[in-house]
Amino acid sequence: MTISASAYEAWVTALRLWRDDPRHDMSGLPTLVVDSLPPSAYERLLGHMIGAHQHVMDRWSETFARSWAAAGDEQQQVRALLDTRVLLARRLQLANHPGLPEVIRTELSKSVANDVHQLQKQLEEAATRHQAGVRTDRLQIERALRVLRTNRLTAILEPDFSLHALLEGRFDVPAPQPLPPLTAAHHFAPEPTARRRRAIIFDN
C-alpha cells in the first residue's frame, strides 16, 4: 500500500517546524506503515528526522551550559536540569509518534535513550573531573552528584514517568536539602552528542 506523496510532504513540513520549535503539534499527520513510501522516500524522511533531532540536541547543549553556568544555588541547578529535560522529552515524544512504522519508532527510541544515558554519564563525569586552577573538595563533588542523580535526565526513560505531565509543566522544583555552600563554582556541560545517521532499509 503506497500512499500519495502528500503524506511525505506533510511529514517533512511538520519536521521542519518541530526542528525550530519542538512544541509544534505533530498530531494529525498521516499514519505511515512500512510500505506507505518507497525505501528511498523513507531514507530521505529519516534524514529529515535525524537532522531535526540533532538540531534539538545542539539547542539542549547550549541551553544547559548557559543555565548551569548562571545557576547561583542548588535550586537553580535543579531548575536547569528539569527545564532542559523537557527538550529530551520532546525528542522521545517524537520518536514514539504513533504515525510512524514500528521499526522506525523502535530505532528512534533507542537512539534517544542512548543519547540521554550518555548525557547523564557525561554530566556525572564532569562533576568529578579536576579542573586546573579550581579547588574542588569532596563536599562539592558529592553535592553536584546528588543534584545530578536526584534530578537525573534518564528519569524520562523510566516506565512510570509521565512525559505528559512534564510537557505540560506539572513538575515542581523540589526544595534543596541543607548543605554548606560550595567553595568555588563548578560549571560543566557535556559535549554535544555525535552526529550520526541510522540506516533503516525497507523491502517492498
| pTM (2 d.p.) | 0.80
More confident residue, 185 or 93: 93
Contact 163, 92 (CB under 8 A): yes
- Give the model's pLDDT for residue 180: 47
Domain boundaries, given as residue ranges, for the chain: 56-167
pLDDT per residue as tens digits for the range 60-114: 999 999 999 999 888 999 999 998 899 999 999 999 999 999 999 999 999 999 9
pLDDT per residue as tens digits for the range 126-141: 888 765 555 667 888 8
Mean pLDDT for the chain overall: 83
